Amino acid sequence: AYPVDYQTHKGEANLRLYFKEVSPTNIEEAEYFWPSGESKYSNQQYLDWKQSEHAKVGVVCATCHSVHQSRTGITANVDASNLLMAIRSKTRLFEDRLCKSCHTTVQYRSVHRIHTFGSCVRCHMPRVASIGEAGDAHSHTFRFMFPEATLKAGGLDKQPNACNSCHHHKNSPVDAMVGFLEAAKKNDMPKPFLVHEQSQDASK
């Protein structure tokens, strides 16, 4: 289905007549969004996108997503092992290659150095919405979700963050994620894995 605001051509009936429109700024509809404004559920990607810098400069769904081509295709018979690849193949390029096709001047400095294996998508499109289970759909605001917001909200169940979308095991508490980011902002930051080791040693 089309998102609630979308009109396929000029003059088409407004789809608000058929879909319920929700907004992150409406307190009465807070159940659909995290405190940071990102969507909690699938099929809200358009609402995320409307908040993004991409929307402001004219980057639209079809800029990144190929609507007519798929390497595997999603069919009624697709099995679970192929589903993820089918979804991924709907983008014109895979992950970072897609981002860097536009963001050609981005350098890995400051917090971008926290991982030697850093990924644009893992940090700027964390899996914080839910399709079948919690955390299996990407945010589309393209904002980095800071761990400080999780601490302020009172826990991951109340506000997820980009760091803990990967670091979800018991050895990576939210306050440790805050420490990693603070270390990354320093000019004399050591190699990323050393930052992790030092933080873990300090917590013992």
Q: How do the domains of the chain map onto residue ranges?
A: 15-59+102-203, 60-94
What is the per-residue pLDDT across 89-146, written as a single tens digit (0 to 9) for each?
A: 577 777 778 888 888 877 655 455 566 666 788 888 888 887 766 566 888 999 888 8
Please tell me the distance from the alpha carbon of residue 171 to that of residue 154, in angstroms, as a whole number: 18
- Arithmetic mean of pLDDT, 42-65: 86
Closest CA relative to residue 149, chosen from 174, 181, 180, 115: 174
pLDDT band at 75 (very low <50, low <70, confident <90, very high): very low
User: Is residue 4 pLDDT above 50, yes or no?
Assistant: yes
3-state secondary structure (DSSP) of residue 91: strand
pLDDT of residue 173: 79
